[in-house]
Amino acid sequence: MYKMSKKLQLAAIILMIVGAVGLIYSFVSTPTNVQEVEEMLAHDEHHGEEEASATQQSEMNQNHKSLSHDDESHMGEAKHDNHHSEASGHEKSHAEHVYDQLKNKPWSAIYTSSLFFFLLAVGAFTFYAIQNASQAGWSPVIFRVMEGISKYILPGGIIVFVILVLSTFQLNHLFIWMDPSVVEHDEIIRNKTGYLNDSFFLIRAAIYIIGWVLLSRVIVKNSRKQDENPSLKLHKKNFKLSAIYLVFFIVTESMMSWDWIMSIDTHWFSTLFGWYVFASMFVAGITTIALVTIYLKSRGYLEFVNNSHIHDLAKFMFGISIFWTYLWFSQFLLIWYSNIPEEAVYYIARFNDYQLPFLGMVVLNFVFPLLVLINSDFKRVNWIVVMSGIIILIGHYLNFFVMIMPGTVGESWFIGIPEISSILLILGLFIFIVFKAISSVPLLAKNNPYIEESKHFHY
Amino acid sequence: MATKVIQAIYTDDDILMNAVKSVKENKYHIEEIYTPFPVHGLDKLMGLPHTRLAITSFLYGLVGLTVAVVMMNFIMIEDWPQNIGGKPSFSYIQNMPAFVPIMFELTVFFAAHLMVITFYMRSKLWPFKKAENPDSRTTDDRFLMEVSVNEKNYQQVTELIYKSGASEIKLKEN
């Protein structure tokens, strides 16, 4: 029986407090009106000019810049839709534009990290459901770790849902299609209102979250009931429920990715986006399972987990990392190759303003795991798995960052106080809930028909 | 004189494994073992070194990647940089996404094929090669262990192998 150590509890609480303070600070310190932003821009002007001259060195770059500028005005809010017809009004609308972006910053920061940790927990639970449905013989000894992580689905889902509700109340501009004044002037969005409207959006979100929470809770509960119940009934029930969950999940996950992430860039669409988001959350979930397992083992709680189990988890981390890259590249290559303007703006915004995180995450999520985790011996070494796990998690946070930020804060992004403090806040909450859940039950599932095989698993 | 081997035939892989263990414990040299199918853990018991085939494959993959990059860079960028459908052929990196499918396939191609060829060469397999099978039953349902012996110890080895549950024991001159 694991008991969450006082130290870990304290660390989680400190993370939450520091994060909450930082987040409140960043909400308070956003500019309150457009004048403030104008002053700020005037102050930075000298800086800006230097940058601009540097970027205009090649014709190529210039083309991109002007292209992306057009798209911005096309995609941006209606308030400054007319900003290139009036030369004098340009400055004003630019300040307004930046003002909206800065207002959005803390909102998108907390949204990104809430979504990341929530989907990570869902990904970990999906892995668990796959283990159940595929009758895996190696993994039952770490079922309790996966069950603990899946306990975060409920609080994480509530947080995400609350943010979505607040967005529909116009408290932020994460989703431009929620703003009636934008939709009014935008025919493309208007044609999508059959799907993208506040009430249907929230109903869908509630269906996904309630479905995932209910199915995960029932499956986890059955697995715990099995400890006192040696019959196979609960096992078979969980097998069926897991299969049902997986079918439900793949449909709702795909729609979730359209709703919660793709609709931020309302003018853009991609067909493999659902799979792409799935790969990201799945590998993050598996990595978290590996990290928590290694942590608990290092504390001496999982004596029945051997390095073959770690090896298997690391193989999954490696394989799904490459799967993610495959989808990332497939989406990029198809859009880059055909270069249809309405699709390409998505990547032009990312290449112009997000070059470092956008390309950096490919290094973190692909090149690094590829070179490190390809070695069979390395996959059994705890510190190497932990190190690459942390890098994969950072990389997939960046993935969510690059999916969400360009549509909400645009070129005003920065990984500063709002972003870091919202990561800390949610991370603290995640650690607290997950380890509390893990300490509530014995770490070895009893009466699972595969538990003996799993204990002696050797690769 | 050390050219004599004892050939012991077993009918079960478990008995074979135990026999290997006892021969190893008594520090006799196992020349070769013939089995009809892979016996899990046999290599470890025999103390065979780990294969380096995976490492060669990785290196061959790097060769394939290099070939692809150099080839595409020469053909598409240096030799004749045409404008084909507006794709930027000014530098390799600008047109890189279009080359990735080729880079990937050549990496896999080189890694796979050269590794297989390496495997054939290292294990001396080729068409028309004479089979080195001491007893044709070992491809069906028998396991054969060869232990090298000399004048002094063949008596003891035979006894050991007899006790280990062999169904046939032969002394063979090489």
Position A51 scores a pLDDT of 46
State yes or no: pLDDT of A11 exceeds 60: yes
Mean pLDDT score, A255-276: 94
**Nearest beta carbon to residue B100 from set A333, A339, A374:** A333
The confidence band for A46, taking pLDDT boundaries of 50, 70 and 90, is: low
pLDDT tens-digit series, residues A181-218: 888 888 999 999 999 999 999 999 999 999 999 999 99
The mean predicted confidence, pLDDT, of chain A is 88
Do the Cβ atoms of B97 and A374 come within 8 Å? no
Of A74 and A3, the structure prediction assigns the larger pLDDT to A3
State yes or no: pLDDT of A138 exceeds 60: yes
Supply A258's token pair: 């359209």
A445: closest CA of chain B, how far (Å): 29
State yes or no: pLDDT of A89 exceeds 80: no
Compute the half-sphere exposure of residue A3: CA atoms within 13 Å on the CB side of its CA. 3
The confidence band for A73, taking pLDDT boundaries of 50, 70 and 90, is: very low
pLDDT tens-digit series, residues B136-153: 999 999 999 999 888 888
Q: Contacts of residue B60 in chain A, CB cutoff 8 Å? A: none
If one counts every other C-beta atom within 10 angstroms of the C-beta of residue A36, the result is 14
Q: Which long-range contacts (CB under 8 A, 24 or more apart) does A369-378 make?
A: A369/A317, A369/A318, A369/A321, A369/A322, A370/A318, A370/A321, A370/A322, A373/A314, A373/A315, A373/A317, A373/A318, A373/A321, A374/A318, A374/B58, A376/A311, A376/B54, A378/A314
**CA A189: distance to chain centroid?**
25
Residue B88: closest CA among chain A residues belongs to which residue? Answer: A60
Which residues are B173's β-sheet partners? B4
Residue ranges in chain B modelled with pLDDT below 70:
1-2, 174
Residue with tokens 């549509």: A407
Interface predicted TM-score (ipTM) of this complex, two decimals: 0.89
Position A253 scores a pLDDT of 96
Position A410 scores a pLDDT of 87
B130: closest CA of chain A, how far (Å): 35
Position A60 scores a pLDDT of 41
pLDDT tens-digit series, residues A307-361: 999 999 999 999 999 999 999 999 999 999 999 998 999 999 999 999 999 999 9
**Nearest beta carbon to residue B97 from set A60, A332, A376:** A332
Position B77 scores a pLDDT of 95
Position A47 scores a pLDDT of 53
Phi, psi (degrees; rounded to nearest 5) at B173: -95, 130
Position A83 scores a pLDDT of 38
Q: Contacts of residue A333 in chain B, CB cutoff 8 Å? A: 97-98, 100
pLDDT tens-digit series, residues A281-304: 999 999 999 999 999 999 989 989
Position B145 scores a pLDDT of 93
Position A78 scores a pLDDT of 40
The confidence band for A369, taking pLDDT boundaries of 50, 70 and 90, is: very high
**Nearest beta carbon to residue B97 from set A60, A333, A374:** A333
Contact A257, A278 (CB under 8 A): yes
Mean pLDDT score, A217-222: 94
Phi, psi (degrees; rounded to nearest 5) at B40: -65, 125
Sorted by sequence, the CB contacts under 8 Å of residue B36 that are 6+ apart come out as B138, B139, B140, B141, B142, B143
CB distance from B58 to chain A under 8 Å?
yes
Give this prediction's pTM.
Answer: 0.88
Q: Contacts of residue A359 in chain B, CB cutoff 8 Å? A: none
Q: Contacts of residue A332 in chain B, CB cutoff 8 Å? A: 97
**Nearest beta carbon to residue B98 from set A337, A374, A376:** A337
